[in-house]
Amino acid sequence: MQYSNRVLNTPSSFIRNILKVTDSPEVISFAGGLPNPISFPVAKLQEGINRAIELNGSKVFQYSSTAGYLPLRQYIADKYNRTHNLDISPNDVLLTTGSQQALSLIAQVTINSGDGIIIEEPGYLGAIQSFSMSEPTFYPVALEQDGLNLEELESALKQPNVKFIYTVPNFQNPTGLTYTAERREEVYNMIKDHDVILVEDDPYGELRFEGEHLPYIAAGKSDNSVVLGSFSKTVTPGMRLGFIISKNRELMEHLETAKQASDLHTNIFSQYAIYEYLTHNEYMEHVHTIIDLYREQSKIMLDALNEYFPKDVSFTVPQGGMFIWVTLNNGMTALEFFNKAMEVDVAFVPGDPFYTSKTNVNTLRLNYTNSSPEVLVEGIKRLANILVATPKA
């Protein structure tokens, strides 16, 4: 059997492969990007599920519309109008099977083989994987402390057939970095006269534990804006509920066609259930419990990094979200470090799969949301022991 170039050239998920190795109970894993299960509102979701069935009967088990359950789209539109000062209607919202599906649909409707995608480097590996299925040319632009590097962005925009720019402006996966207000404006000013879509993938935006919420880069300002949202990090990832927000009618119609071809519609049972959950509970109160938890967990990991890691190792200090990004600076690659870490039963994700143009990098991703305080400290101590014991190259 000859398989398609599309799949043969798509990286299989490095993280899932790592998670297979790190799955045993004695391994301390900072590898996954899993929300803390104590943040799932299980009892309240159960009430929502019961209410959804009581109120809607067999409709919750029937086929449904591709765009999604109208009251849920209205809820999302109202919320973003209120919190982000947008001016959207339910027609500007398309429910997707997680925001992961949104990524694949966007690439499917815009990319012919070889067309350009500008992507943050390092960037979300699930996006790299999903876009790869459309056989694009990636134009990586360095993600710095303040956001995309502007000089690199300017030259990437000069490349042929660039269709969209993919960004995660808040608490980025994998770096935990957030674009400053100033850099958002600079990026917007640079792209506004180009015929290119700006995707702002924002599954973590509500999980800010330091500083002020910032406006989106292009949402509310440009018809070429696409914002992606998700309930995965704030309510539950298992229900697979994400959404696309865009006022670009033509784009939304193509996305709906692609979605129809892909799965007809997003799980309608989940949509009814989450709608009942959202409209009968204090959602923001729930989000604040997650924020308090992640603030504490990030602080414990950061304190341990400051206390035990050698000073030549640098790391980001996130203002929200789930990740810290470490740069080794000691001559060791992240893969070498990973192999040594596995010998002492600690896992993380080496940086390699987050780059489209580099290998043998010296960066790595740590997740702090899924470990207890004791485990966070113990894992960092074990990693520090390896670094302290390794002579400088």
Q: How far, in Å, CA of 191 to CA of 196, rounded? A: 7
Smallest distance, Å, CB 355 to ligand PMP?
Answer: 15
CB closer to ligand PMP, 64 vs 230 = 230
* SS3 label, residue 87: coil
Determine the Cα angle at 83 with ends 43 and 289, to 5°: 35
Smallest distance, Å, CB 54 to ligand PMP?
Answer: 28
Smallest distance, Å, CB 323 to ligand PMP?
Answer: 9
User: Which residues on adjacent β-strands are paired with residue 245?
Assistant: 93, 227
CB closer to ligand PMP, 101 vs 333 = 101
CB closer to ligand PMP, 48 vs 229 = 229
Q: How far, in Å, CA of 220 to CA of 225, rounded? A: 8
CB closer to ligand PMP, 20 vs 311 = 20
SS (H, E, C) 225-284: EEEEEECCCCCCCCCCEEEEECCCHHHHHHHHHHHHHHHCCCCHHHHHHHHHHHHHCCHH
HSE of 188 in the Cβ direction (CA atoms, 13 Å)?
A: 19
Smallest distance, Å, CB 266 to ligand PMP?
Answer: 11
Q: How far, in Å, CA of 186 to CA of 203, rounded? A: 23
Tokens of 75: 């809820």
Find all residues with CB under 8 Å of 377, minimum gap 6, and list them: 300, 304
Residue 85 parent element (H or E): none
Unique residue bearing structure tokens 């919750």: 60
Tokens of 71: 């009251």
Smallest distance, Å, CB 80 to ligand PMP?
Answer: 16
Contact residues: ligand PMP, CB under 6 A: 33, 98-100, 124, 126, 168, 173, 201, 203, 230, 232, 237, 242
Q: How far, in Å, CA of 11 to CA of 8, rounded? A: 8
Smallest distance, Å, CB 100 to ligand PMP?
Answer: 3
CB closer to ligand PMP, 90 vs 242 = 242
Smallest distance, Å, CB 79 to ligand PMP?
Answer: 16
CB closer to ligand PMP, 32 vs 304 = 32
Per the CB < 8 A criterion, the answer to whether 356 and 125 are in contact is no
CB closer to ligand PMP, 351 vs 387 = 351
Smallest distance, Å, CB 232 to ligand PMP?
Answer: 3
CB closer to ligand PMP, 35 vs 48 = 35
**Measuring CA to CA, how many Å separate 118 from each of 122, 145, 157, 301, 312?**
12, 18, 8, 32, 31
State which residue has the least CB distance to ligand PMP: 98
